[in-house]
Amino acid sequence: MLRKLRTAARWLTPGMGIKRWLATLFIGITILALGFGLFLRDLYGATGYPPLVRFIALQFWPRWLRALFFSSLGVSLIAVGLYRLNRTVMLAFLPREPGAAELAEMLHRAHRRRRGPKIVTIGGGTGMSNLLRGLKHYTDNLTAIVTVADDGGSSGRLRQALGVLPPGDFRNCIAALADDDALTTQLFQYRFSRRGKNGQHNGLEGHSFGNLFITAMAAVTGSFERALAESGKVLAIRGRILPSTLQDVTLYADVAAENGSEQIRGESAIPHSPHPIERVYLRPDNPPAFPGAVRAILDADLIVLGPGSLFTSLLPNLLVPEIAQAVRASHAPKIYIANVATQPGETERFSLADHVRALEAHVGPRFFSHILANDNLTLPLPPEPPVNLINPILPDKMRYELVTGDVISAARPWRHDPDKLAARLIQWFLLQKREG
């Protein structure tokens, strides 16, 4: 009984959008009943009600008892009808029939997500998809702005052969934002084997299904941005995924070689250089930003950079001038999520301060006011890949607000845990809102 009362109370929780429509329905039925009663009174006012009508109206009962009985019966029928109607409609969209408590909880979560903050994440790669996988439980108003500099693997082959933007990072984000992310991730990340059944090479070898899906959708819809939108609809993702630019750009890096600075061409080649990275840049220079990405940044309640590969996933987005300008112009809180560990080929032996200095060297100081860093340094790291956990320490002169928390994955301690990271980020954001 107590459980049923709790379930009923959940339906009436403030913010669910249920009570206002129940009240509207009740008022409408009351007006309808009043009109029907007036019609009967005018029809039989002079002659009196026929015996059948008197029996149905329980005229032989006291008036107070009739009012109580019909009110209770009416409310009960309305409740049962609405509940059954709601279940019938929900079954058209759900794989199985939910219980009353589960249905109430689902509606409560969905309503809360619809009213969630408008969060813009900027980055790419595994780090961004990890973050999105956690944030989608808090808000449907997510916008992921993704780099288009990828030129390796399946993405690079499709980019070179068909002239499309590299779909790999977009594929990861779509899988992360999908409602059933476990199955969608398996499907989108599925790679076709390098050899067919007859042992010979085939044209699909090495390609992932997700990359082919997005590329085919781009051909069907006529543009890459429409392909992302339609792919999101097909997979019922929670949020939007936008490119930082539609320009066909190439990422370059200057590295500190023994004989002076050396240029490395291509996002996939940069991490394989044995030399420290001095700076990265795009060619052609100053690519135009995708307008939807700029609008999303200016309309955001929260802007998040990272986590992800510093030089090949995060900075390529900020090297699009209008993206960087929009972030600076926004009045929303801005936070940089530092990686939990260093990355071979990019940030070996980097401290947290080194990451921040690299950001400042490319986009200027104080681009973000806060930095979220992991403070759980107790988990052992495997020998491969050779990485080190990043200590959450910054020199006072850097004047950034440091936000710390246990956001590391126990299973893969060189990466973030999606749920821990999202929970800590939202906790900080809500505190910022309260403090004004």
pLDDT given at position 243: 97
Residues in the chain, how many?
A: 436
Q: Which residue has the tokens 């279940």?
A: 87
With beta carbons less than 8 A apart as the criterion, state whether 297 and 323 touch: yes
Read off the tokens for 269: 């080649």
Query: What are the mean pLDDT values of the chain's consecutive 10-residue runs (436 residues total)?
Result: 60 66 80 80 70 74 81 82 74 61 64 87 94 95 96 88 92 88 77 66 79 94 93 88 96 92 94 94 96 98 97 97 97 97 94 97 94 95 87 91 96 95 97 86
Round to whole Å and give the CA distance between 167 and 24: 47
Q: Which long-range contacts (CB under 8 A, 24 or more apart) does 362-368 make?
A: 362/279, 362/280, 362/315, 362/318, 362/319, 363/315, 363/318, 363/324, 366/399, 366/400, 367/318, 367/324, 367/327, 367/328, 367/334, 367/336, 368/303, 368/305, 368/334, 368/335, 368/336, 368/400
Sheet of strand 277-283, all strands in order from the earlier edge strand to the far edge: 260-265, 250-257, 277-283
Cα–Cα distance, 139 to 111 (Å, whole number):
9
Distance between CA 155 and CA 176 in Å, rounded?
18
Confidence at residue 74, expressed as pLDDT on a 0 to 100 scale: 81
| Identity of the amino acid at 164 | V
Look at strands 119-123 and 142-146 and give their pairing: parallel
E strands of 314-414, at which residues?
A: 334-337, 370-374, 401-405
Full set of structural domains in the chain with CATH: 10-114 (no CATH), 119-148+244-435 (3.40.50.10680)
Distance CA 215, CA 166 (A): 9
| pLDDT reported for residue 105 | 64
* Reported pTM: 0.82
> Which tokens belong to 315?
């900075």
Q: What's the pLDDT score for residue 255?
A: 95
